Structure 1
């Protein structure tokens, strides 16, 4: 099933079920008022939402309405926790090679992750507001999973059963601010503003054979100003699957229902498939030509991020945003 939130009913939106073709939707308020409320009691709420989804897709749902993407908030307008990884090591390797540094051996056995901003997410059509172009505005197209309550100390095999939804995120980065922050040795802060989520989150069963070994096996398609930018394969070169990432986060603490865990920028060893962020493309250019030529985003630029199935149909709906001055 596909779940989304309308921009109404308060900060956490109103939960709706969306048809597979994105044409129709129905409010799920008789089952759960918000997606967070549904996740809080997922084992009992999910079967009822599934039944409503079946009714909607078969034309039996009462009070169904035409879906307007511009009226959607992020599926989770705010979350208790968002932890982002960097599971695609070709990206890490290239970035470090461009500055003459080696990848520590531990990166291949211990996931690289950080605590991200979760107090508010942009909707799939909301603009990205930034104060200055000098901050180095970048997109980062990623896959993420959403969990129910995860006990502390779970194994990856146990963690897999706690992955309840899958979605996309544009993890906006301000590249010009990152070096100074990392030099302090205390992680990201100002360089990581609010991210945008895909129009819908889907249950893993909705993905069929594209969800194998806790990875999404489809290309991440990105466009900038309407021009193709990349289609890196999500299921290729992912050093750690999502069950491993969730287990890593839960090693010393339980995770609250509604926790988001990101994959990090999708990147492949094969650079012919393009990139999922500008920093990646600029690194490829630096290694090849000695300097980057692709600029970071400017005010007025547009970004589109989407994942489609074998028929070309969008699975999560596209994130489509403009970059605007705050």
Structure 2
């Protein structure tokens, strides 16, 4: 089943989208928003699945699906936490600046809680006042959970996964060092993130969803040039159930919690990278200095994932960097 949110009201209007992303039908009579569906998932899910099946069989009135008419599936969320599950990526970051990596990073996940009140739509511009802040994209996979009790273990956590999405976790790289130096984590360096037009249930991924991971390449295209397509199911040190369990160690997670994987990264660098910071790190290690700039005004980033038949699973995150102008 595939779900999306039309741009109506603050929290969107829930729709059901066909598997090939060509058509959609309304679902507001079942649940007005995706958050409402998640809050009442046991009742809403079978009805939404039946609506999806009818759409697939062309047994219900439908309309052309246009990602530009959609917000992120959850236009805002109660909880957005991003992990760093690809520890080889973290190791690379630290090695580029000559820092050792604690052994605990391989056994205890890194995670931060980001702003979740103003997600960007999947085709919305990334508006920033300045390119001096080091604007970067981070292509990731994320899950949306149902309610997760505090102390839930990884073995049970997979049962809470309701939907999956793609993420562009926008990062301001040149603001990060100053914030981390204060010893209190990210804030200004992590502006609004964007998510794929469509969220999908795990069964839509078939055998590509196993072991709590998505075993498919994630494509990051900048200005028409492929930066990378590493496989999200390779070198993921902590799978999604482990990330959920980590987040729920000392607090319950409410339905609609979004947990991100962190930048997808493979040890085998031949598949490229899912962020510019990693590209620059590899340049520093190889040549002593970076040559690839961070994103500039006018740059366009596209993030997508395809099945074995080249079907676009989640729709494409397609964003352009533009200069932010203060409202008068």
TM-score tier by shorter-chain length is over 0.9
| 1:21 counterpart = 2:20 | yes
Rounded to whole Å, the distance in 2 between the matches of 1:315 and 1:66 is 17
- Partners of 2:129 and 2:97 lie apart in 1 by 28
1:82 aligns with 80
Written as runs of structure 1 = structure 2, the 5 A alignment for 1:162-241 is 162-241=160-239
Report the TM-score, using the length of structure 1 for normalisation. 0.99
Alignment-derived partner of residue 37 in structure 1: 36
The alignment yields a C-alpha RMSD, in angstroms, of 0.6
Q: Write the deviation string for residues 185-216 of structure 1: whole angstroms up to 9, x where unpaired.
A: 00000000000100000000010001000100
Which string of whole-angstrom CA distances, capped at 9 and with x for unpartnered residues, describes residues 46-66 of structure 1? Answer: 01000000000110013x111
Quote the residue 1:249 is aligned against: 247
Indicate yes or no: 2:305 matched with 1:307: yes
5+ residue gaps, structure 2: none
Other structure's SS at 1:21 match? coil
Helix, strand or coil at the partner of 2:318: strand
Q: Which residue of 1 aligns with 2:122?
A: 124
Report the CA distance between 1:102 and its aligned residue.
1.1
1:120 deviates by 1.5
Task: Give the whole-Å Cα distance in 1 for the aligned partners of 2:168 and 2:237.
Answer: 20
After the TM superposition, which segments of 4 or more aligned residues of structure 1 sit over 3 Å from their partners? Answer: none
SS of the equivalent of 1:208 reads: helix
3-state DSSP class of the match of 2:47? Answer: helix
Match of 2:10 in 1: 11
Tell me, in whole angstroms, the C-alpha distance in 2 between the residues paired with 1:83 and 1:284.
27
Residue number in structure 2 paired with 1:318: 316
Counterpart position of 1:47: 46
* TM-score of the aligned structures, taking structure 2 as reference length: 0.98
Q: Would you say how many aligned residue pairs link Structure 1 and Structure 2?
A: 324
Deviation digits for residues 74-93 of structure 1 (CA, Å, limit 9, x no counterpart)? 10000000000000011111
- TM-fit CA distance, 1:272: 1.1
Spell out, residue by residue over 1:266-298, the C-alpha distance to the aligned partner (whole angstroms, 9 max, x if none).
Answer: 011111111000000000110011111100000
Instruction: State how far apart, in whole Å, the 1-side matches of 2:243 and 2:67 are.
Output: 31
Q: Aligned to 1:232, what secondary structure does the other structure show?
A: coil
* Separation of aligned partners in 2, 1:102 and 1:42: 45
> Residue 157 of structure 2 aligns to a residue in which SS?
helix
Tell me the SS of whatever aligns to 1:142. Answer: strand
Shift of 1:44: 1.2
Q: What is the CA–CA distance in structure 1 between the aligned matches of 2:60 and 2:34, rounded to whole Å? A: 19
